[in-house]
Chain A
Amino acid sequence: DTAVSQTPKYLVTQMGNDKSIKCEQNLGHDTMYWYKQDSKKFLKIMFSYNNKELIINETVPNRFSPKSPDKAHLNLHINSLELGDSAVYFCASTSSAALEQFFGPGTRLTVL
């Protein structure tokens, strides 16, 4: 009964490849996020979707494309992976009633 789940947990791939990370929440929340956490633990928001609509799109290369097929899912597709994309990517969700965000366990992406 995991609240926010992500797959895969680890992803190792070569430069130039295309990969996807999936996120699902069963909390009934209407807003979902993607964050990137670097090696120094700094968290950077990338995208936010509310009711399947993109509401936050920070300065992120357009190689990154989020997709929200429904309110419970927010996937992240990355084209032409680069070494600098290596990081831990976290999905999170919230609602206006919840105030706080609930985080998934993270996906550690390593680009070789």
Chain B
Amino acid sequence: GNSVTQMEGPVTLSEEAFLTINCTYTATGYPSLFWYVQYPGEGLQLLLKATKADDKGSNKGFEATYRKETTSFHLEKGSVQVSDSAVYFCALRGDDKIIFGKGTRLHILP
């Protein structure tokens, strides 16, 4: 079946550092891929998405590229801010439901 594996956290970085959160997937067919973000005390919200191979999703300085050859969708940001502290979920949508990774908690220190 479909599955998503993302790097375990927590990840702690200083402000303005470069961020990478790894995500790989297993799926039949051609799933859509997502990154969701959950700020403290809130629900998940969509950060970015990509629907086909080589697509790049981007939002709020975050980027991720759909790599079919490596079945990956790694999240990157060039310069993180304290306000980026949150839990990040990689997800894929196959036929009828979205499969979420276990989440990666990110702490950004001022």
Interface residues contributed by chain B, number (CB under 8 Å): 21
> Is B42 in contact with A106, judged by CB distance below 8 angstroms?
yes
Question: Using Cβ atoms and an 8 Å threshold, which residues of chain A touch B36?
Answer: 103
What is the predominant secondary structure among interface residues of chain A facing chain B? strand
> Is A90 in contact with B97, judged by CB distance below 8 angstroms?
no
Tell me the nearest residue of chain B to A50, going by C-beta. Answer: B96
Q: Which of A11-19, A40-48, A69-77, A79-87 contacts B (4 or more CB under 8 A)?
A: A40-48
**Interface residue from B32, B42, B45, B102 paired with A99 (Cβ < 8 Å):** B32
> Is B44 in contact with A45, judged by CB distance below 8 angstroms?
no
Chain A interface size, under 10 / 10 to 19 / 20 to 34 / 35 or more: 20 to 34
Does B89 belong to the interface (CB within 8 Å)? Answer: yes
Residues of chain A whose beta carbon lies under 8 Å from any beta carbon of chain B: 4, 33, 40-43, 45, 48, 55-56, 90, 92, 94, 99-106
- Starting from the known contacts A45-B97, A56-B96, A90-B43, 19 additional A-B residue pairs (CB-CB under 8 Å) come to A41-B38, A41-B87, A41-B105, A42-B102, A43-B89, A43-B100, A92-B44, A94-B98, A99-B32, A99-B49, A99-B51, A100-B49, A100-B93, A101-B44, A101-B46, A103-B44, A105-B42, A106-B42, A106-B43
